[in-house]
Amino acid sequence: MIEDKGPYYKYTAANVLENENFKPYWNRSILTDKIIPFNRPDIIFMNKKTKNNFLMGIALPYSHNLAKTIPTNKTSTKNWRMKYVLCGSKKAAQVIPIVISSTGVIPKLLSQSLTRPNLHPNTHTQLQKSVILGICSNVRNFLNYK
């Protein structure tokens, strides 16, 4: 049973969380078989049962830059795919670009790319909610600034 830790936007997690099936990393450099500059992807998601690794690159552009950001994010994350083989795994990591605008607009490809690591079908709606609440919080802080 999952314990309630309050609202998710107030929750601060450790850099590594792990259970018997999955191991996600964020804000952490990774060990690779080759020396690679910028080896700190946004999120690394490891499925222990299937031995699949996913590198998630996240981009939050303005709505009018959404169409430009999708190919840029794909290109930068495509380079990761060729270079990253995580230590302890024989498989190359799959790359999942996550692009969502600062107003919550998402491209059609986002829901398709979130199905590859077998995430819940409503994950994209939770991402939208997080982005919108984060932007509202920033605006509220700015307006209350003295």
Is 130 within the bounds of a domain? yes
Top-confidence residue, 5 or 66: 66
Is 1 within the bounds of a domain? no
Is 44 within the bounds of a domain? yes
pLDDT above 70: percentage of residues in the chain: 70
Residue owning tokens 């024989």:
90
Is 2 within the bounds of a domain? no
Tally of structural domains, the chain: 1
Report how far residue 73's alpha carbon sits from residue 58's, in angstroms, rounded to the nearest whole number.
8
Specify the pLDDT at position 1. Answer: 39
Residue owning tokens 């690779």:
32
Specify the pLDDT at position 143. Answer: 92
Q: Which domain holds residue 108?
A: 8-143
Judge whether 56 and 43 are in contact, CB under 8 Å.
yes
pLDDT in tens, 39-97: 677 888 888 888 888 888 888 888 888 878 877 666 565 555 545 555 555 666 787 88
Is 27 within the bounds of a domain? yes
Is 132 within the bounds of a domain? yes
Global confidence as pTM: 0.67
